[in-house]
Structure formats: C-alpha cells, structure tokens
Structure 1
Amino acid sequence: MRWTEAEPPGIGKRQQHTLSPSDLIADNPSHTTVLICFSHLRWRFVYQRPQHLMSRMATTHQVIFFEEALPTDAAEPWLEQRQEDNLQVLIPRLPASCQGEAAIDAQRRLLDAYLDDIAASDLIAWYYTPMSLPYSTHLKPRLTVYDCMDELSAFRGAPPSLVEQERRLMERADIVFTGGFSLFEAKRHLHANVHPFPSSVDIAHFGAARHVQPEPEDQASLAHPRLGFFGVIDERLDIALLEEAAIKRPEWQFILIGPVVKIDPQTLPRQANIHYLGSKSYAELPRYLASWDVALMPFALNESTRFISPTKTPEYLAGGRLVVSTPITDVVRTYGDSGVVKIARTPDEFMAAIEQALDEGRQQARVWQLADAALSDMSWDTTWKLMEEKMRCAV
C-alpha cells in the first residue's frame, strides 16, 4: 500500500511524492477521536448536508471523509487523499480488474492501513451509504451513526443490494438520524433510537443575497423576471412542468444551476428562455440568488422525491427570495403556512403561483420578515450541536 496526494505517478502533470497520513493531520493533533464518514456523495460534488456537518464535526473530532472508489490506470489499488478545509478526504482507486469481493477486500486493506498509520484507537463510524458496510463491518467503533439523508433505494441506479445492506446497518447502528420528518416516519419502526434532523441552512452565507452582489457574467445579460433553481439536475426534476411553463411564459427567464446526473442531458427542455449555467461553487450561489425574482423547486412527484427535505428551501429563504415548489411532503409540512413558500401541483398552478410570488415580492420588507420567521432557530450550527448531544447519550 502507498499514500499519495493525488494521482499515481504517470497520471496527471503534478509531481508526486510519498507521505504518511499522519503528516497530513499533524496540524490538528488535539482531536484524539477519529470520526470516519463513509459517503456516497463526493466532497467536491455539491456542498450540502455531509459537508456542512463534517466540517463542523472536524472542530471536535479528527474527521476522515471516505468516498466511494474510483477507477485507476495503475496496476494496484491505492488511496488518494486530499486535505479539504479541516479534514481528510480519502478515495480508494481501483484497477478495472478489481471487482466484486476483490474490490471489497482492497478497500478494506486500504482503510485498515490508513487507520493503522494514524494509530486510530478511539473510532466513531458515520455512514451516509450502507454500501460501505461490506469493507468496514470489521471495524469496532465505540459509536456507529447512520445519517439517513435520503431514501437511496428509490433513486435511479440504486444497487439491488442496498436494501439488505441498510437492514444490516440498522442492526449495527447505535443511533440513526434522518434528513427529514417523512424519512423519520419511514425509519422509526426499524430502530429504537431514530431522530429527525431536517435540512438546515447557513443563514449568514445565503443572507448575502439580500444585498447587492456583483452580477455573474453568465447571468448578467438575462432579462427579468428571473426564476432560478440551484441543485442537482436529475430524475427528481419535473421536466414536463418546466418545459410547459417556459413555453407558455416566454418572457420569463428560467435559470438552472447545477450538475446534470443520472439523466441524459439531451432530454432536458431546450427553450430559448431556459438557461443551464452548469455547476457553481457554494461560495458563488448567493451572487446568483441575489438577482432572482423567484426561487423554484420544480420537483417531480415520484418515488425519488417521496422522502426528500430539500436543503435549498431554507437557503432560498435566507437569501430573501419567495419560493414556488411542487407539493413535496416535507416542504408542505414545514413551510406550507409560512407565507413565503407557494405550493403548486400542475403546470397551470405553478405558473399562477409564480405570478403571485412576483407580485408579492415587491413588498421586500414583508417577505424578509416572513422568511426570517420561517427560519427562526434554524442553522447547521444548531443541528450539529444537537446531533453531538444525541451521540453522547448513545454511547
């Protein structure tokens, strides 16, 4: 086994050098508890629940963010590692020939070698994906946490074994968190220690959108009204609703920010007033949000959205924008009576809700007052502190 900062020699242009994992964590020697987070979401993908929580956990723990494996041209498995913020990101890199049980064994060996190198004696295991269990089930953490942020088995491309692996993880977990109340209701009978923690928000970060921001170049030339969405563009997006609204309201500009995954980009509507601006960094989002007239959540109503609690709802509100959403259960339950989130099911209802939001948005002070009321006592800092309290009680 060997350790590198990026690609193995011969891949990429950076000069490589060998180093010990302990060298990379020397800046934070005071945290003796190692929290290893097994995630299906990559740290550099979209900044969301895992990043918010793990960056905060890293202030009290030595955090290792262990991602799913990626392929490599090297002949042997190796472990890519990166310093991100105040934690370590580890990515197993496996040759194409390394499949099935061999892949599980390789990831287990890479994981064990790393933990041995840093002399991890006090371990907490935190899971976002049950599919990490086969190569980590031998670990003996003093606490096992399952943060079930989505019903992954309902997502397109979910492995057939995911349901069974989740059952096994539920048996091992000391405590289970869920990403919303609907998911809590679906999981509460499966474990004796389940707690709902819906999506939260960094109010200060998105609150910047309430003030004049430099206009991003790829948005500056677009006319108003601007109707925006940021997030992952996948099977959860109601393509038909979006297309019909764009056709019937050609004067409205629909702005979509985020990566397109698990669906063919060619299937997305291509009206002149629909603008796909691609992925943006978390730091950039308030600049785009600042000049939107209404924020959108045009989610399809299907199995993949049945239990979601979208993080973007409080983020939009923190930025001072009125929101129009399809009737996602947790959105209706949490924000349906807030006065700042309009709920609409059909394309005609969706367009009528947008028109209402455009009209009400002129009363900026009232919108901000209602949004602040909806977000009272809501923050990732509060969520993190409450989670840590639950974890201490579970040990």
Structure 2
Amino acid sequence: MNTIICHSFPAWDSPYVKSTLELITRLASTHRVILLDYPYTLKDYWKTDYAPKAQLRGKDGGKRIILTEFGQVEVYNSLPVIPTNWADNKKIFNLLMKANSYLVGKTIRRILRTVDPKNTHVINAFNPVFGHFTRHYWGEIPVTYYAYDEMSAAPWAEKWGKIYESKFINSVDRVVVSSTGLADKFKQLHPKVNCVKNGVNLKYFEGEEQSSRLTRKMGYLGAFDERIDLELLKATAEAFPDYLIEILGPVKITSISALPQRVVFLGAKPQNELLQHLSQWEVCLIPFRKTPFTQAIYPLKINEYLAAGKPVVTTDFADLGDFKGLIRIAQDPIEFIIGIQREIRGNNRLKSAKRREFAQQNSWEARANQFINALAS
C-alpha cells in the first residue's frame, strides 16, 4: 500500500496525546497519509476551542497540509454534522446518521478522487458508528478497525457505540487493538485480530533526573477522570503527609473537593513541559479503579513513566504482564501504599536504567512498524 487513510475519532487539533495521531504521524515517513478528521458537530463548532473553524466552514475544501517532523499529513474536515447523542429512538438516530454520513461522504468522495484504490488502505480509528454508516463509500478498499478502548464501557458511547461496533466489525477486513484485553474480546468476533500496544514519545521523557528535596513529590500523569479511585488517592495522601501528589493532566470530574490539599492539580501541559514536573516525582502512580472500561486499557503513561526512569505503582486494573519486574502492581489499597514505600526506599540508578531500556523498545516508531506489519498480515 502507498496511501493510508485514517477515518479518525481522535481530533487532529486535540491538545492531548492520542495513540492514533502518534501512529499516523510516524506512518507519514513511509506512506502518503490522509486523515479524515473527527466529525465535529454544530455544537462542537461553537463550543470546542480547538475546533478548526475555517476548515469546518469549507475553507480550501476543508483540507490542510500539516508538515510534521516525520512527514506530511493531509487533514480533511467535513462540514459540521448533526449532534446525535440525545437521540434515544433508533429510527431517529438512523435518520440523523444517514444525513451525517451524506455530509461526511462528500469529503470521502473528495479524498477518493486523489488516490489509487488498489494501493490504499483505510484505518477506522475507534469510530465505528460513522464507520458503519459510511462503509459503502470506500468500496473495495480494505478497511481495518483500530480499537483502543472498550466501546461498551465508554460513557460517551453507551447508547449506540456497542450496537454499531458489532455491525461495523462484520464489514471490516481486520481489527487492530491496543491491549490483550481487547484482543481477547475481538478474537471472538473476527478472524483477523492483531495487537499493537501503545508507545512512548521518547524525546519528551528521556532526560536527567532532577531533585526537589524542599518538597517531596509523587504524581499522576494523564486525564483525571472516572477511572481514578478517589478513595485510594485520598488514602495515599493521608499515608504520606510529607509529600505533594501532583496531578498533571486535564480534570474531567467534579468530585475532587474531598481530596486533601496535598493533592495538587497542575492542569494539562504540552508534552515538552512534562519532564520538568515528572522528573521531580519519587514515584509515579496509576490509581485506577478496576472496571470493564479500565480492564481493556494499555495506558500510555506507563511507558512514559519508565522512559523517565521512574518507579511505578499501579492498581491491578488490567493485564499488565508486559511490565512484570519493572513496576509494582497492587491488589488492594494496603498493597498500593506499601508498594509506594518500598519503591521509594528501593529505587536506584540500576533500576532506573532498566526502566529506560525497556521503554526504548516501545517507541511510537517501533509501534508504527508493528502496525504496518499488522495491516499486511
């Protein structure tokens, strides 16, 4: 294949790290890459700060050429679509989605006029509803479904996501997933399933460790959302009264007022600013609840923590067997707190070097090569 078209749910202009975008930028070094961007709604147009409003109004046919450090990515935006999450009735939902697929289909036709179908592959990145309703536009071009979360447990997809994922699966050529939990699920649904786990952007996480003994710190990197076990985090703060617990990422829940003041929210930061905070942490945390949603996760942050050489203490929220001997996995809150104590006491340069060495094998460049091999399998 010479051309890869990514029909994406993650938005190109999203300020957060997304596996889809990390992968396709690397693929641009060896392929022509076209991104059919997130289907912004009319509501998104007015309320989403990072929405590319000029393209959503049709400027330059909704097309942008983005020059990345790896290669060129062609980003296409359709006109804004009709919001559908409010629709509880299947007939109404289908009617709205047919209208939306017509809008997106116009952009798909525009893209297809520029490619050779015989040398093109489509990746649908966790967008099965639009994937189902626009599948016919791609014709005989092979389509791969890329699933990086558990659709049935995603709060934003609870009405229709699971239903249309099961329909869409029947029309795709293969499935690529990001965790062993998702692989187990999809192997029961499709004959061709490959697992390509999340990677790490090494240049942002490799660096010399800093020391901040005036204030001892530990921390969590990533979205602070419904995955977080707030009671566990509260207990951790109470068990370590001499430490600040820094939260480095967007806060997406409101129930944080009961947390001690030693839990400090720094907000979302650009990738190139993360290491200056993370390097001061004596231990990195993943205090996730164990739910159907988290059981399907291969978290980005583990490789980021390890690339920085940091000790990691996590709950047993998913299959983390890849990291055996490198991180501490706690079965309950007591183990979690004891694990933090032991990782702080037992950390040394040799352990730090082993963590970095492991993370270097899991760069996004390596993952992109695995993804290409999966498409060809």
TM > 0.5 fold call:
yes
2:174: which partner in 1? 175
Distance 2:204 2:82 in 1: 41
Q: 1:96 to 1:373 in 2, by over 3 A?
A: closer
2:354: which partner in 1? 370
Query: Does residue 345 of the first structure (1) align with residue 331 of the second (2)?
Result: yes
So what's the TM-score if we normalise by structure 2? 0.82
1:292: which partner in 2? 281
Query: Which moves more between the two structures, 276-285 or 36-45?
Result: 36-45
Q: 1:45 to 1:290 in 2, by over 3 A?
A: same
Out of 386, 389, 393, the position equivalent to 2:370 is 386
1:366 Cα offset (Å): 1.8
Percent pairwise identity = 22
So what's the TM-score if we normalise by structure 1? 0.79
1:102 Cα offset (Å): 2.2
Query: Does residue 355 of the first structure (1) align with residue 344 of the second (2)?
Result: no
SS in 2 for 1:157: helix
2:29: which partner in 1? 59
Query: Does residue 224 of the first structure (1) align with residue 215 of the second (2)?
Result: yes
Q: 1:198 to 1:95 in 2, by over 3 A?
A: closer
Query: Does residue 131 of the first structure (1) align with residue 129 of the second (2)?
Result: yes
1:123 Cα offset (Å): 2.9
Contact 2:109 2:137 in 1 (8 A): no
SS in 2 for 1:283: helix
Q: 1:287 to 1:120 in 2, by over 3 A?
A: farther
SS in 2 for 1:228: strand
Out of 104, 109, 114, the position equivalent to 1:112 is 109
1:242 Cα offset (Å): 0.9
Note the 1:78-93 alignment, pairs <5 A: 78=58, 80-84=62-66, 85=68, 86-93=72-79
CA deviation string 1:260-308 (max 9, x = no partner): 23x3x24454421111111111222222211111111111111210111
Distance 1:120 1:287 in 2: 46
1:347 Cα offset (Å): 2.7
1:184 Cα offset (Å): 0.9
SS in 2 for 1:89: strand
SS in 1 for 2:199: coil
1:232 Cα offset (Å): 1.6
1:26: which partner in 2? none
Note the 1:9-20 alignment, pairs <5 A: none
Q: 1:93 to 1:224 in 2, by over 3 A?
A: farther
1:351 Cα offset (Å): 1.6
Listed as ranges, the gaps of 5+ residues in structure 1 are 1-31
1:144: which partner in 2? 143
Out of 285, 310, 321, the position equivalent to 2:299 is 310
Report the AA paired with residue 368 of structure 1: S
1:373 Cα offset (Å): 5.3
CA deviation string 1:205-227 (max 9, x = no partner): 3212x345xx9xxxx8x953211
Report the AA paired with residue 58 of structure 1: A
Distance 1:349 1:35 in 2: 46
1:387 Cα offset (Å): 2.1
CA deviation string 1:147-179 (max 9, x = no partner): 211112211121422223222332222221110
Alpha-carbon RMSD across the aligned residues, in angstroms, is 2.7
